[in-house]
Structure 1
């Protein structure tokens, strides 16, 4: 028996690092399944849709229904389609995010002067010209959103700049912060997760490797939080941090210790 009926699991740094499966995470996933705990994967990766993680994890024997996956890209697309219908979105982001937005019937524009909304995200082709155009798009005070706050992204051999780094540059030139971040740890993200799981926050567990996104999401929504040390955060980062996890685990493989 367990107090939990659902678990929100981060992916990058919790289940995988880059394209590689982290050691023994299948043990943790099996533990959750054996306990009858519903599972939702929630990645702040703004370049991936819901189908990607099933394709990535299937070779490892992990079955993932796309309906049990959220990403900052899919949450952002759903939010913009609902709250800004028929408005033109100027995107600073990847081609993959562009495709996800278009699939959600979000209207995009390449003209910064015709933007009704601006969305900032991870963009590996980000340049001075992109920054200049984003400044033009933001000058009239249009709604400004970010997909996620992650300043870096873990890869196989280190880290690369993430959406948070792009957003910081956009904020600096426009002299304004985003009106909202749509991925973790936002209220938008928490609501999307709870709607998908249909569970009570008090009986939901959040597991991830970032204090400012995964753990903050759980704290915001009244869930139990567990930080794993297989990603961005290490034990030295926890001391004195504003957001504190309820549990600290070496990896997802140790999830049984808190069930």
Structure 2
């Protein structure tokens, strides 16, 4: 198989904190030269694609907004399809709420008035949020429950910190109900968005990421070749084995040369 497209994770694969991981700039350029299409795919729901693309360009990596798919991208697409006219109560940080509002989602401040709850990354998540979730769902099974992404932890230069998945699981535990859907990687909904953006068959696509439970699982589920880098989370537990394991994104370039 000669790769025609690349799906590149960001945090822990290309990016660490506000900077690039060693060799990331050259690796991204080398991969882009060898494929027809590139998608930067992240489970970070807090940064809009336009801002992510601008951040990557500032760091020296060529990127257009249409090439960036985030967990919030997938969440908004799901809401448009399944909850287009619903009143939504968000248990999420300000950055996510702003994207929902900018996309025209009908947000409500009263949890008892909602028809759908969206849960995502929130560094200020607390007891009051769990209480709001109880009020939102009450005894009704008709209220939708959407998680932005499953990442219980996210990599940072100082080690992992709780992510959206921690918030989703806390809410799920207190209301005794699983989410209707959790977007981001490895969801099939996100895979559909990526496939549409790339315009290349999954069998001709290579996904590179650090997280077995999200990046590798996403690629395996979508039928892509999977490459795991040991940067970021870089653990082999908690997800399927990748087709190829390398030290970093620089070493991943050889997959595009040799495949």
When normalised by structure 1's length, the TM-score is 0.94
Partner of 2:123: 124
- Provide the alpha-carbon RMSD of the alignment: 1.3
- Residue 50 of structure 1 deviates from its aligned partner by 0.3
Which whole-Å CA distance do the structure 1 matches of 2:52 and 2:247 have between them?
A: 23
Which residue does the alignment assign to 2:61?
62
2:29 and 2:61 in contact (8 A); partners too: no
Secondary structure in 2 aligned to 1:8? strand
Q: Deviations over 1:183-234 (max 9, x none)?
A: 1110101001101111101001111111111111111111110001111123
Task: Count how many residue pairs are aligned between Structure 1 and Structure 2.
Answer: 254
Residues 39-89 of structure 1: per-residue CA shift (max 9 Å, x gap):
100110011110122222223221210010010012101210222111011
Partner of 1:143: 144
1:72-124 alpha-carbon deviations (Å, 9 max, x no partner):
01210121022211101111101111111122211111111111011111111
**Matches of residues 70-149 of structure 1 in structure 2 within 5 Å?**
70-139=69-138, 140-141=140-141, 142-149=143-150
Q: In the alignment, which residue of structure 2 is the partner of 1:177?
A: 178
Is 1:194 equivalent to 2:195 in the alignment? yes
Q: CA deviation at 1:242?
A: 4.8
CA distance in 2, matches of 1:210, 1:246: 13
Aligned-partner SS, 2:107? strand
- In structure 2, distance between residues paired with 1:5 and 1:93: 36
- Contact 1:78–1:104 (CA under 8 A) maintained in structure 2: no
| Match in the other structure for 2:232 | 231
* Structure 1 stretches lacking a partner, 5+ long: none
Structure 1 residue corresponding to 2:242, chosen from 219, 228, 245: 245
- Measure, in 2, the Cα distance between the counterparts of 1:231 and 1:156: 9
Superposed structure 1 runs of 4+ greater than 6 Å apart: none
Distance 1:35 1:164 in 2: 34
Contact 2:150 2:183 in 1 (8 A): no
Structure 1 residue 254 corresponds to structure 2 residue 257: no
Question: Distance in 1 between the 2:35 and 2:224 partners?
Answer: 18
**TM-score, normalised relative to structure 2:** 0.94
Partner SS for 2:146: strand
Output the CA distance in 2 between the equivalents of 1:229 and 1:37. 26
SS in 2 for 1:123: coil
Which SS does the other structure have where 2:226 is aligned? Answer: strand
User: Distance between the aligned counterparts of 2:8 and 2:66, measured in 1?
Assistant: 14
Contact 2:216 2:239 in 1 (8 A): no
SS in 2 for 1:199: coil
The CA distance in 1 between the partners of 2:144 and 2:2, in whole Å, is 41
